[in-house]
């Protein structure tokens, strides 16, 4: 069953690529979308089968490459990531049919997208070092093509692709180094051999391998300080591809960290987990702060991805810390929270990126300050974006709430802990998770409010129209997934146990008990019933509406302009913009963000007491990019300029190089 599904996924992806290469434009877009969705659905079916308990699927292709074969090992940990991919890839592919029709329909993009979907599903399925690296690189290259989709009329896309290419190769370099060292010392290429031989790896090598793993997979996951490519590449890719990259591809960073750090290496000292938690905390705070003040919608979503990956890292790192300090039951809960958040984030971030794509194709802009009033013009997009916003803000009764609640529970209940590091780190983590939750709510109030409510701020926003049917299907399907995940997370109880058991070095036992309605955490006196919670909320909302309606009947209603301040008309210029909404919070975090603000005031020529125009410009530089990457790039450039002296165009000098080389070789090799 699993093998058949995986084969079907491969065949469908190959057919989709062939369709992308061969068919004319209209048919191409349609067939690529359908076949890619089929491929992702087949992968999802395999994942569901494994999560439902059909056991680990393995396959071996020893002669696939000249120097090493590919082994597949599809266990529960792989499955949960493949499931997250399928959750976002199926709707995104269908959405892509409508989205690409007037946009990225070129052959390279239509070939690269199915390849990207397939390789994202195959990376977790790889069961040896060669296979992992091969699929990883396939994924990196196909996603790079997708980022470059609109390079013809968009120079930003080229810069974004350069940053992305550099970071993804840094990532690959670190991963290859780590895995080669690990495979060499453990004496085997397949994961099974590495698990058997891992006791031969000394503690120092293990630490080095772990840190390289963290750098390599962290760069792909987009955690601070490797996040710089994310807010560049995600906005430039076509929206259904950004949904896939942000919802699924960056998660593979988490997968790699868990797989290598806690499965293959079998866990390590407490500092491993502590480092991951710290990286997660910094990423969560940094990501949400930049998302809060961003006014480019897709950039906002990209920064929010850094935040959510940060939360997942906190969960994974906390699980590592708990396991290392002996509390493996709590570790299972933290891991379960992180994995559930992986799936949830795939659903709601995918949904939000698709929504952003609908806005972009309807209005031609991603700038929140130029939108407004879209709720009436694009009702389906507005409703689904609202679902996504509620979910990502971790508000009940949606799915983001469940996983963040689980995460907070596991962090809070670690307090009676023996290890000092754990006792210090966890309260900080709780505070940060709580703060990011609040800021995320503010961010998405801003995003939803300025885009969809109030009056349109520009003519483009005024003339917006609802997207084509296929795009609506994608949006509605993903909001359905969000709601289903919110109401029935209990179905994940048994699968999450299998995931926890698959990670040998981290957890044992069952993280979550359930009776179908009620979630009960093991080892913690805490429980939750999302279904009852949702029903309760619904009852209260209906009751409130009824009361309001009743009240309305009694009173006479007068229509007067609110906050008119003596004026009789209100214009869009009087509305809050995204920038002004975030301004108070930006002041609060002034010391962290260091915004550059210019205010130009023009006076009328007749009198200085009358102001003609005020221009307000705010620019926020990414601190890491500004302080870390740009100096690094400048240094590289300086060295490059210095090295140009070696090649000055003089033929005599080039000839002298070969003479000197010959002499040196003669003398040295004698």
Partner 1 sequence: MNDTAFVQLLDIAAGLVLVTSFAALWLRRLVAVARVIAVQGVALAAVAFVIGLYEHENELVAVSLMVGALRGVVLPGLILRAVRAGDERREVESLINVPAALLAASGLTLIAYAATRDVVALSSTPQVRALPLGVAVMLIGMLLIVTRRKAVLQIMGVLMLDNGIALVMFLGTSGVPLAVELGIASDVLLAMFILQVLTSRIRNKFGGTDLDQLRELRD
Sign of CA dihedral 229, 280, 130, 134: negative
Position 648 contacts partner 1 (CB under 8 A)? yes
553 or 651, CB closer to partner 1? 651
* Residue 644 CB, nearest approach to partner 1 (Å): 9
153 or 642, CB closer to partner 1? 642
Cα three-residue angle 579-247-382, rounded to 5 degrees: 50
Position 645 contacts partner 1 (CB under 8 A)? no
* Residue 637 CB, nearest approach to partner 1 (Å): 16
Position 640 contacts partner 1 (CB under 8 A)? no
Position 667 contacts partner 1 (CB under 8 A)? yes
Position 655 contacts partner 1 (CB under 8 A)? yes
155 or 658, CB closer to partner 1? 658
Return the H-helix or E-strand segment holding 60. strand 57-61
67 or 643, CB closer to partner 1? 643
* Residue 642 CB, nearest approach to partner 1 (Å): 16
Position 642 contacts partner 1 (CB under 8 A)? no
Position 652 contacts partner 1 (CB under 8 A)? yes
Burial 631-665 (b: 16+ CB within 10 A, else e): eeeeeeeeeeeeeeeeeeeeeeeeeeeeeeeeeee
Distance CA 95, CA 90 (A): 9
Return the H-helix or E-strand segment holding 500. helix 493-502
* Residue 667 CB, nearest approach to partner 1 (Å): 6
* Residue 645 CB, nearest approach to partner 1 (Å): 13
* Residue 366 CB, nearest approach to partner 1 (Å): 39
573 or 652, CB closer to partner 1? 652
Kindly state the tokens that stand for 522. 């093991």
Residues facing residue 61 across a β-bridge: 70
Strand 70-74 to strand 519-521: parallel, antiparallel, or no bridges (unpaired)? unpaired
* Residue 581 CB, nearest approach to partner 1 (Å): 51
* Residue 641 CB, nearest approach to partner 1 (Å): 13
Kindly state the tokens that stand for 619. 């620019």
560 or 651, CB closer to partner 1? 651
Q: Are the C-beta atoms of residues 408 and 396 closer than 8 Å to each other?
A: no
**Closest Cα partner for 592 from 435, 472, 474?**
435
Position 544 contacts partner 1 (CB under 8 A)? no
Phi, psi of 614 (to 5 degrees): -125, 125
Position 609 contacts partner 1 (CB under 8 A)? no
- First CA to last CA distance, the chain: 64
Kindly state the tokens that stand for 364. 């031609």
Return the H-helix or E-strand segment holding 660. helix 651-668
How far, in whole angstroms, is CA 148 from its chain's centroid? Answer: 19
Stretch that binds partner 1, among 433-441, 488-496, 605-613, 649-657 (CB under 8 A): 649-657
* Residue 633 CB, nearest approach to partner 1 (Å): 21
Sheet holding 519-521, edge to edge: 512-514, 519-521, 527-528
- 190-to-235, 377, 460 alpha-carbon distances in Å: 37, 55, 55
Stretch that binds partner 1, among 270-278, 544-552, 604-612, 660-668 (CB under 8 A): 660-668
568 or 648, CB closer to partner 1? 648
Distance CA 375, CA 355 (A): 12
Residues numbered 398-427 forming contacts with partner 1, rule: CB under 8 A: none
Position 649 contacts partner 1 (CB under 8 A)? yes
The single residue among 557, 565, 614, 666 that binds partner 1, judged by CB under 8 A, is 666
Stretch that binds partner 1, among 69-77, 276-284, 513-521, 648-656 (CB under 8 A): 648-656
Position 637 contacts partner 1 (CB under 8 A)? no
- Burial classification of residue 533, based on how many CB atoms lie within 10 Å of its CB (0-12 exposed, 13-18 middle, 19 or more buried): middle
Helix (H, G, I), strand (E, B) or coil at 57: strand
1 or 656, CB closer to partner 1? 656
535 or 655, CB closer to partner 1? 655
557 or 666, CB closer to partner 1? 666
Position 647 contacts partner 1 (CB under 8 A)? yes
Give the long-range contacts of residues 1-4, CB within 8 A, separation 24 or more.
Answer: 1/46, 1/49, 1/54, 2/46, 2/49, 2/50, 2/54, 2/57, 2/74, 3/57, 3/59
Q: Please work out the total of residues on this chain that contact partner 1, with binding judged by CB under 8 A.
A: 15
Position 646 contacts partner 1 (CB under 8 A)? no
591 or 641, CB closer to partner 1? 641
416 or 649, CB closer to partner 1? 649
Binding residues for partner 1, rule: CB under 8 A, are 647-652, 655-656, 658-659, 662-663, 666-667, 670
């Amino acid at each position: 069953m699993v093998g058949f599904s995986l084969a079907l996924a491969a065949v469908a992806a190959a057919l989709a690529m062939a369709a992308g290469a061969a068919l004319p434009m209209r048919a191409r877009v349609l067939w690529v979308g359908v076949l890619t969705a089929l491929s992702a659905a087949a992968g999802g079916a395999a994942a569901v089968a494994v999560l439902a308990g059909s056991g680990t699927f393995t396959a071996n292709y020893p002669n696939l490459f000249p120097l090493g074969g590919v082994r597949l090992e599809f266990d529960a940990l792989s499955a949960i990531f493949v499931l997250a991919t399928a959750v976002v890839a199926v709707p995104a592919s269908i959405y892509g049919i409508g989205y690409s029709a007037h946009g990225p329909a070129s052959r390279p993009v239509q070939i690269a997208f199915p390849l990207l979907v397939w390789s994202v599903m195959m990376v977790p399925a790889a069961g040896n070092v060669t296979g992992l690296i091969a699929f990883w690189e396939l994924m990196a290259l196909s996603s790079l093509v997708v980022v470059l989709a609109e390079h013809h009329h968009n120079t930003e896309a080229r810069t974004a692709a350069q940053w992305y290419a550099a970071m993804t190769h840094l990532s690959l370099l670190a991963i290859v180094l780590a895995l080669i060292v690990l495979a060499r010392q453990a004496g085997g290429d397949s994961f099974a051999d590495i698990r058997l031989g891992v006791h031969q790896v000394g503690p120092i090598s293990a630490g080095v391998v772990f840190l390289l793993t963290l750098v390599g997979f962290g760069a792909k996951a987009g955690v601070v300080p490797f996040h710089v490519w994310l807010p560049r590449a995600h906005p430039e890719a076509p929206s259904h591809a950004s949904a896939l990259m942000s919802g699924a591809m960056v998660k593979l960073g988490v997968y790699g960290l868990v797989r290598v750090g806690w499965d293959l290496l079998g866990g390590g000292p407490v500092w491993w987990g502590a480092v991951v938690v710290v990286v997660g905390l910094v990423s969560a705070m940094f990501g949400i702060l930049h998302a809060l003040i961003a006014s480019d919608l897709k950039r906002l979503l990209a920064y929010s991805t850094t935040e959510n990956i940060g939360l997942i890292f906190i969960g994974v790192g906390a699980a590592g810390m708990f396991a290392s300090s002996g509390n493996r039951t709590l570790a299972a809960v933290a891991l379960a929270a992180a994995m559930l958040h992986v799936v949830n984030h795939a659903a709601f971030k995918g949904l939000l990126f698709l929504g952003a794509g609908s806005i972009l194709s309807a209005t031609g802009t991603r700038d929140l300050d130029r939108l407004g009033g879209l709720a009436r013009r694009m009702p389906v997009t507005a409703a689904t974006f609202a679902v996504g916003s509620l979910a990502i803000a971790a508000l009940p009764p949606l799915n983001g709430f469940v996983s963040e609640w689980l995460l907070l529970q596991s962090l809070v209940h670690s307090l009676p802990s023996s290890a000092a590091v754990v006792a210090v780190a966890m309260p900080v983590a709780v505070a940060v998770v709580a703060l990011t939750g609040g800021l995320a709510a503010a961010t998405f109030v801003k995003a939803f409010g300025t885009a969809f409510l109030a009056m349109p701020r520009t003519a483009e926003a005024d003339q917006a129209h609802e997207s084509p049917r296929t795009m609506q299907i994608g949006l509605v399907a993903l909001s359905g997934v969000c709601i289903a995940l919110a109401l029935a997370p209990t179905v994940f109880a048994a699968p999450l146990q299998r995931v926890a058991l698959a990670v040998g070095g981290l957890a044992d036992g069952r993280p979550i008990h359930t009776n179908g309605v009620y979630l009960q955490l093991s080892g913690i006196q805490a429980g939750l019933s999302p279904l009852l919670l949702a029903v309760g909320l619904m009852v209260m909302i209906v009751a409130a509406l009824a009361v309001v309606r009743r009240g309305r009947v009694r009173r006479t209603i007068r229509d007067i302009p609110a906050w008119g301040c003596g004026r009789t008309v209100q214009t869009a210029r009087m509305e809050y913009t995204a920038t002004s909404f975030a301004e108070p919070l930006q002041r609060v975090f002034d010391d962290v963000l260091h915004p550059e603000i210019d205010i130009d005031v023009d006076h009328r020529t007749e009198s200085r007491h009358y102001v003609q125009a005020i221009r307000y410009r705010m620019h926020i530089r990414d601190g890491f990019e500004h302080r870390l990457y740009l100096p690094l790039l400048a240094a590289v450039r300086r060295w490059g300029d210095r090295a140009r002296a070696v090649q000055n165009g003089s033929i005599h000098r080039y000839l002298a190089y070969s003479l000197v080389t010959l002499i040196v070789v003669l003398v040295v090799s004698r």
